[in-house]
């Protein structure tokens, strides 16, 4: 029984989070216990626990006397998130180099080959998936669970502002070359370049995202 309750809590949390990141529950929308219990056909308790967890991850905002809302990011928020991601992705590149082996290198090369194919066919969603796999494997190589956890939270927060970053004009080509530089640094065991190019990847992505958000009228 205890295990079933735990599984239910996790399932409800994951379903609400998925709906937020897929924009089925859009930024700024109010999240009421009554609506969510009907939506997911569960009791109020797992809904309340899920909202608390999502608030800690920055995806839900609890406003006193008004209730819970899907978080809305400002340009300042996005800048702040990328500032953290730049540092943490640099650390990820450095720590990955310390542990990487030939099997890992082959996996990353395979992902880049897939990414090149998606780029040539202009398959943005396919490229986005390859992009995420590239970074996920780097994080797994570090064997640093906290580093991976914090980066995953920042990734999720960014999706509130822009769900598919590689849909930006010219971003696929730029991202692919940035990944190749990171991988080349890892293959050559150049720790300074591994950190530098991992950070530069985030810096260039941030510039593209901020430019797009300003164009869309974000403030």
State the DSSP string of 94-126.
HHHHHH--HHHHHHHHHHHHHHHHHHHTT-HHH
Give CA–CA dist 150/155, Å, rounded.
9
Residue 3 pLDDT > 70: no
pLDDT digits (tens, 9 = 90+) for 10-62: 899 999 999 999 999 999 999 999 999 999 999 999 999 999 999 999 999 99
For the chain, the domain total comes to 2
DSSP 41: T
> Checking phi first, is residue 61 left (phi over 0); if not, alpha (psi -120 to 50) or beta?
beta
Quick one: pLDDT at residue 202? 98
119 and 46 together in one domain: no
Residue 2 pLDDT > 60: no
Quick one: pLDDT at residue 39? 92
126 and 39 together in one domain: no
**Where among 70, 104, 130 does a domain terminate?**
70
65 and 109 together in one domain: no
Cβ contacts of 66-69, under 8 Å, gap ≥ 24: 66/30, 67/30, 67/31, 67/32, 68/30, 68/31, 68/32, 69/28, 69/29, 69/30, 69/31
Which CATH number belongs to the domain containing residue 56 in this structure? 1.10.10.10
Our CA angle for 96, 180, 105, nearest 5°, is: 45
106 and 175 together in one domain: yes
The percentage of residues in the chain with a pLDDT greater than 70, rounded to a whole number, is: 97
pLDDT (average), residues 201-217: 95
**Where among 41, 70, 99 does a domain terminate?**
70
166 and 194 together in one domain: yes
Highest mean pLDDT of the ranges 5-19, 130-144, 162-176: 130-144
- Name the residue range of residue 40's domain: 2-70
196 and 100 together in one domain: yes
């Amino acid at each position: 029984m205890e295990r079933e309750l735990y599984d239910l809590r996790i399932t409800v949390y994951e379903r609400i989070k998925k709906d937020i990141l897929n924009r089925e529950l859009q930024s700024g929308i109010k999240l009421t216990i009554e609506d969510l219990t009907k939506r997911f056909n569960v009791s109020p308790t797992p809904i309340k626990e899920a909202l608390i967890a999502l608030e800690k991850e920055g995806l839900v905002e609890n406003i006193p006397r008004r209730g819970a809302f899907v978080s809305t990011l400002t340009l300042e928020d996005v800048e702040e998130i990328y500032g953290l991601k730049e540092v943490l992705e640099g650390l990820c590149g450095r720590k990955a180099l310390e542990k990487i082996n030939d099997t890992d290198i082959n996996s990353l090369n395979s992902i880049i080959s897939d990414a090149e194919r998606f780029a040539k066919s202009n398959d943005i969603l396919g490229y986005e998936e390859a992009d995420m796999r590239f970074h996920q494997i780097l994080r797994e190589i570090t064997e640093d669970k906290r580093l991976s956890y914090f980066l995953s939270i920042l990734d999720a927060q960014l999706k509130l502002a822009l769900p598919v970053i590689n849909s930006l004009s010219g971003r696929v080509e730029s991202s692919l070359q940035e990944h190749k530089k990171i991988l080349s640094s890892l293959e050559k065991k150049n720790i300074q370049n591994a950190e530098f190019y991992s950070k530069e990847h985030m810096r260039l992505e941030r510039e593209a995202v901020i430019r797009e958000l300003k164009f869309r009228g974000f403030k």
